Chain A
Amino acid sequence: MNIIYYFAGLLSGVSIASFFIGKELYKFYVKDKVQKKQLERMEKLNKQFKKTFDMEGPEFSS
């Protein structure tokens, strides 16, 4: 009986630890993926701004 208790305790411990570690890792993975994409877009926008203002910013009229 003690071995089964030990096994059940081990399984519970591993499950809890895996849940918390897994959720943090997944959060990190998603954040990393999304932020890389955001950085690429920001870089592209920055280049466009530079290009436009280097050629003297266009006057916007209504």
Chain B
Amino acid sequence: MASQLKVDEITTVSGTGTLKIAGNVQTNLSDNSSGIILPKGTEAQRSTAPVLGETRVNSENKTIEFYNGTGWQRVSTIPAVSNSVVGMHYTIFGSSLNTSGPNQVYQNHTGSTLTFNTIEANSSFMLIADMCGYQSGTGSGVNIAFEFNGIRYAGEPGGNGDTWMGAVHSGISSGSFNLKKMYTVSPNLAAGTSVTAYIQCGHWSGSGNHYFNYPGYNPSSTFVIKEFVNIAS
């Protein structure tokens, strides 16, 4: 037969030590308009002999913390932000691209192609390229840009050769290059949108060869796309 005990305060006989609810019982605080008030104090006031699972409020940083057996661990109230790799060539992608031909024109490096479906709506994308190559028999400069969902980003306009000198230059007829570029785009796409992206490659001028990934070598060009929400840009 159930019984009720109505009191305003419970303590041990000595007023200290551990107040224990014995037996395999479930504690049910049925009032839905109030909450448990945990013990609170400064870090200096922590128990000198804590036990695993002991939980309190740290009054210095206003967070809940518990003893994990070796130290006090805070329970973070800050949610993680979305940060997902949605496409990457983490070592080498595809074949070589020689942009010999029109000057100051970007071409899609088809070997760099990444296709993926967006995860979130209205998210942002970080495009990161690390492109190796070699130019021979020409004095020129090279550069890279991105094509993302049919739009070019981070590509210098034509008409001024100086804007193309992302690496190497007119005084260097033959030489290796390494271009690193990062760009954030916020194209306002719906979740689940299929996106195709490329690294675009181009050169300033000259009739020689501009190899993005030199043929026959094993360069380590990479292309990574991360999808974000809540990025401050």
A and B bind:
no
**B interface residues (Cβ-Cβ under 8 A, vs A):** none
**A interface residues (Cβ-Cβ under 8 A, vs B):** none
